[in-house]
Chains A and B, each alone.
Chain A
């Protein structure tokens, strides 16, 4: 019983982190699915989302607002708006001018963008860790007779539920809406879609904006869950989310969700049963294994060479 509780606790920890990874991974996978490039500035967009949310929360609290749901919703909206415009701007500045060139060029311009954004936040917000107020506290505790008590905090529930809502909304959007259909068409064949009258530039911008908005949601959630943000916050998270996207099959949206969850759970299980020192070894080792044996990822479609 003890062991089962311990296992479930580690599973909850892993799923929490994993679902947040999945939210960030969507941004990588959608951009890749549509233009076949990796947006390395995506981790920074997530970090900027977290900072914006923090600034909004601090501002609203200073104004004397006390009703928590309102604070959270306003903070979330601010973060999504700022991050989305960042996502849009990154595409305009770092991608559109070099689109269609050699593959390395947009890659390098994205890395440049990422370094720029990181240093910009360094200068604007300082390099120190900034504490995030704990807004959602408490939770449920489950315990058998023994000493170990499993806890499921309200914050963890919030992360699951929000991720679930975002993912459902995104799936509906992609499968049902007009823009969603256009997105799928562009990802299948960009040239053909444009011949059929789809404004491909608008669709590509939309992809960046959606990815950035979801990253901002993750920024607010993880900022509150962890308890602090710093300008390097996005780097590791971006790397992990990228791994999740590749793991699940880059270009595939369900793949990003699956990859995120697998990564999160494998990290927490490694820390829980082996040692925290091996956490990154296992998650990146997993990436190498997948790339060796199933290069398209778990749910990725094998790439068909077009003639």
Chain B
């Protein structure tokens, strides 16, 4: 009696579980993980707005293999510990594809979990080379690497024939990584590095650093890190009459640096992914963003759009929803996206991606530098 009852209960629960699975299969969950709050939330806004738009448009066009995409959003605050929690929640929620994370230091620990649990990850923003150096099968990105961005910045600084260059970074994976790449490029060109020094992210007082830069009499300062610190450095440097040009990676290139640095942001050089939103073939998409009252010009909006689209195209090309099949399809195919034709190498990096040098202005606009 008891055994048959047990069997009955098992059978019922199994069928309920199957029904549940059957229901879930009618839609494909796409996880979007990035900072919704915290000091770099403005980059998260770009990521979420790009990914949401892609999901919306793909669904409007009939979805993927006849199924609708559903966005599931997670906030990692750009904090590695939080990113691991988010990754575990994603696993529990049964999500199989992730667009994210944004900060390299979050992406790296989270990707360990995704790889183990068979979840496909496409990061639209993390540029640290280490992320794709570990031979993972399910890790992709729609952005270039620090090892590409650093040389672009280094070559630009070298082309201006500076006498002495200082390199400052925030000791984080992203900032220090890119600062090291810039240093190596400059060294190869025989330019004197007067200073290579770390600061503490979250610090506010840079008066000693600025004094030191003044003493070292540098022409160029390269900063590897994000805008809250560089904004303050620029402002405090201006107050102390430091006469040097500043340059930073895409992590400093957003309009929030203007609210912190004010006039001091004028003339800052930034390496950014090319402005995909000015390309002729993307104008229809740009209009769609503008119709929603969103700004498509941020560096990560269209890379996030492309990340979602690649997942969708990968599923179609593989004709399977298994993340490993999708990864295989992404590696072997060639895909047309708003960020150009995407082809992947074995590591999960795009075969070609270029960064462009821009000059930043105090009103938040930017002009390309040739």
Q: Do A and B come from one complex?
A: yes
CB-CB under 8 A from B183, the residues of chain A are: none
Quick check: is A184 within 8 A (CB to CB) of the other chain?
Answer: no
Q: Across the A-B interface, how many residue pairs have beta carbons closer than 8 Å?
A: 102
Answer yes or no: B319 CB below 8 A from chain A CBs: no
Bound: A302/B139 CA distance, A: 60
Q: Does B260 contact A (CB under 8 A)?
A: yes
Q: A13-B211, A141-B241 are contacts. A131–B200 as well, Cβ < 8 Å?
A: no
- B residues 161-207 near A (Cβ < 8 Å) are 171, 197-200, 202-205, 207
A128 to B45, CA, bound (A): 12
In A104-153, the 8 Å CB interface with B consists of 122, 127-131, 133-134, 137, 139, 141, 147-149, 151, 153
Interface of B: prevailing SS? helix
Could you say which of A227, A236, A276 has the most chain B C-beta atoms within 10 Å of its C-beta? A227
Q: B231 touching A129 by the CB < 8 A rule?
A: yes
Q: A147-B217, A149-B241, A277-B197 are in contact. List 20 more A-B contacts (CB 8 A).
A: A10-B211, A129-B228, A131-B259, A131-B260, A134-B239, A151-B241, A153-B240, A226-B204, A227-B260, A227-B261, A228-B231, A228-B232, A230-B39, A272-B208, A272-B212, A275-B197, A276-B198, A276-B208, A277-B198, A279-B208
A232 at the binding interface (Cβ < 8 Å): yes
Determine how close the nearest CB of chain B comes to the CB of A173; give it in whole angstroms.
Answer: 29
Which A residues contact B (CB, under 8 angstroms)? Answer: 6, 9-10, 13-14, 16-17, 122, 127-131, 133-134, 137, 139, 141, 147-149, 151, 153, 155, 222, 225-228, 230, 232-233, 236, 267-268, 271-272, 275-277, 279-280
Chain A hits for B214, CB < 8 A = 148-149
Q: A153-B239, A226-B204 are in contact. Are A131 and B231 (CB under 8 A)?
A: yes
Which B residues lie within 8 Å of A17 (CB)? Answer: 205, 207
Contact A268 B235 (CB under 8 A): no
- Count residues of chain B with CB under 8 A from any CB of chain A: 35
| CB pair B38 A127 closer than 8 Å | yes
Q: Is the CB of B200 within 8 A of A279?
A: yes
Please list the 4 inter-chain residue pairs (A to B) with the smallest Cβ-Cβ separation, ordered nearest first: A271-B208, A131-B259, A13-B207, A226-B204
Interchain CB contact under 8 A, A267 and B208: yes
